[in-house]
């Protein structure tokens, strides 16, 4: 059974922060089919369109019939661990820091033999569940865990390298006025986060739920105005070195019509609140987080961006939200490339219209704050890069993959 994680000791301020080393990251273009599945938490393997056999690792021709019709499809996760080995010595600098490390061969129920990283609880000859994970370098790897769930499974050191579980980590939620703030704070505390910092702009304005937030142990409200570069850098000077998970809740939802006289000004307000806010955060907190990706149990682990699903396709009713969040999405890819060098992952949480005052005109189903918070905690625990919360977001994702033109026409009706 996995030893439960112990609370990290106070760091010696004189000790040098361990440099982040990354596992080998070369992958073929075909293998990025696994990256897509791993980023969204799906287990997908190539299956041959001619003979129907599953194959692994990814390749360009079927090893059974030489057909080139290999398509990534969802595969059954079950399998049997036939043999395993514990590696004690390696020439690879990343794995040398993490010895001993277990690997094994799993015969998947759907056919292929898969070399997988192993959860410490796996036993030879027993059934396991396979999954695709993003490793510290952001590249997909196969991982096997016992099919029977046991306590503290999340605390397995190998698994923790491939996830961003909030347990014993310190969290910053950047915009305390976002409607999901209270639900997020409670979910992070329930998930074992040591402390949650909540940024609040314009402190003189009353903050909904301030008393309730202040009453939760380990929660600190701090001044943070995302649109003010100095405010962001001031807070970063105080806490950037102890933020392990940053949840960027920059948002600005206002109805704007494309042809209204104030349209440009309103669009720029939305862009300033979201894009400039995210850029300020990236500059102030990005370097510190990227430098702490290997800082022990409570290393910097993840950056979360809350994005509207309309970032993926412009919904004219919320055109300015779509534009500003589409720009944030592009910025998130830029930031992800930088954070990845430090072993820190970036999770984009796409949500449909929230159940708040600004989306009152939108018919159900809308996303509740609790649903959004649960989705983010689950995404961090599984180490994902993309999650879609609520029916609207999932529907947009599916339609975008099937036919982007149909989505554009239908959403713009």
Contacts with Zn ion by CB under 5 A lie at 48, 50-51, 62, 64-65, 67
DSSP-H helix ranges across 276-390? 277-290, 319-341, 369-381
Least CB distance from residue 116 to Zn ion, whole Å? 23
The nearer residue to Zn ion, 48 or 239, going by C-beta atoms, is 48
Looking at beta carbons only, is 50 or 408 nearer to Zn ion? 50
CA distances to 6, 61, 134, 335, 382 from 167, in Å: 10, 43, 19, 24, 13
DSSP state for residue 342 in the 8-state scheme: T
Nearer to Zn ion, 72 or 168 (CB): 72
First to last CA, the chain: 55
Is the CB of 110 or the CB of 145 nearer to Zn ion?
Answer: 110
Q: Give the residue with the Cβ less far from Zn ion, 50 or 126.
A: 50
To Zn ion, the closest distance from the beta carbon of 404 in angstroms equals 30
How far apart, in whole angstroms, are the C-alpha atoms of residue 293 and residue 291? Answer: 6
Q: How far is the CB of 54 from Zn ion (least distance, A)?
A: 10
- How are the residues of the chain apportioned to helix, strand and coil, as percentages rounded to the nearest 5? 35, 20, 45
Q: Long-range contacts made by residues 53-56, C-beta under 8 angstroms, separation at least 24?
A: 53/111, 54/108, 54/110, 54/111, 54/112, 55/111, 55/112, 56/108, 56/112, 56/113, 56/114, 56/142
CA distance 338 to 162: 18
Residue with tokens 């129907």: 52
| Closest approach of Zn ion to the CB of residue 373, in Å | 44
Q: State in angstroms the smallest separation of the CB of 148 from Zn ion.
A: 34
Closer to Zn ion at the Cβ: 64 or 92?
64
Nearer to Zn ion, 63 or 296 (CB): 63
Verify cis geometry, omega within 30 degrees of 0, for the bond prior to 281: no
d(CA 258, CA 241): 42
What's CA 258's distance to the chain center, in Å? 33
């Amino acid at each position: 059974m996995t030893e439960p994680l112990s609370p990290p000791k106070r760091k010696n301020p004189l000790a040098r922060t361990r440099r982040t080393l990354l596992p080998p990251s070369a992958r073929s273009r075909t293998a990025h089919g696994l990256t897509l599945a791993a980023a969204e938490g799906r287990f997908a393997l190539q299956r041959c369109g001619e003979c129907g056999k599953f194959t692994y690792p990814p390749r360009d021709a079927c090893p059974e019939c030489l057909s080139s019709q290999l398509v990534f499809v969802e595969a059954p996760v079950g399998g049997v661990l036939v043999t395993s080995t514990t590696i004690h010595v390696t020439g690879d600098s990343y794995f040398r820091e993490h010895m001993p490390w277990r690997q094994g061969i799993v015969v998947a129920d759907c056919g292929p033999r898969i070399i997988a990283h192993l959860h410490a609880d796996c036993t030879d000859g027993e059934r396991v569940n396979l999954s695709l994970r993003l490793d510290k370098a952001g590249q997909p790897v196969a991982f096997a865990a016992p099919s029977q769930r046991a306590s503290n499974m999340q605390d397995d050191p190998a698994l923790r390298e491939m996830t961003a579980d909030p347990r014993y980590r310190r969290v910053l939620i950047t915009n305390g006025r976002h409607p999901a703030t209270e639900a997020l704070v409670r979910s992070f505390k329930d998930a074992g986060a040591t402390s949650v910092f909540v940024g609040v702009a314009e402190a003189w304005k009353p903050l909904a739920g301030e008393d309730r937030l202040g009453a939760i142990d380990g929660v600190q409200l701090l001044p943070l105005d995302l649109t003010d570069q100095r405010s962001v850098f001031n807070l970063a000077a105080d806490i950037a070195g102890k933020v392990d998970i940053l949840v960027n809740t920059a948002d600005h939802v206002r109805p704007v019509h494309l042809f209204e006289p104030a349209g440009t000004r309103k669009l720029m307000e939305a862009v300033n609140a979201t894009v400039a806010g995210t850029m300020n955060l990236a500059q102030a907190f990005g370097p510190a987080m990227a430098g702490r990706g290997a800082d022990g149990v409570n290393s910097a682990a993840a950056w979360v961006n809350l994005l509207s699903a309309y970032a993926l396709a412009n919904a004219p009713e919320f055109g300015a939200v779509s534009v500003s969040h589409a720009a944030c999405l592009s910025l998130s890819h830029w930031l992800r490339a930088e954070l990845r060098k430090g072993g820190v992952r970036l999770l984009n949480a796409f949500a449909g219209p929230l159940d708040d005052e600004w989306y009152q005109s939108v018919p159900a189903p809308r996303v509740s704050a609790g649903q959004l918070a649960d989705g983010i905690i689950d995404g961090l625990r599984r180490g994902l890069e993309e999650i879609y919360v609520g029916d609207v977001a999932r529907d947009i994702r599916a339609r975008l993959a099937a036919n982007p033109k149909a989505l554009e026409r239908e959403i713009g009706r």
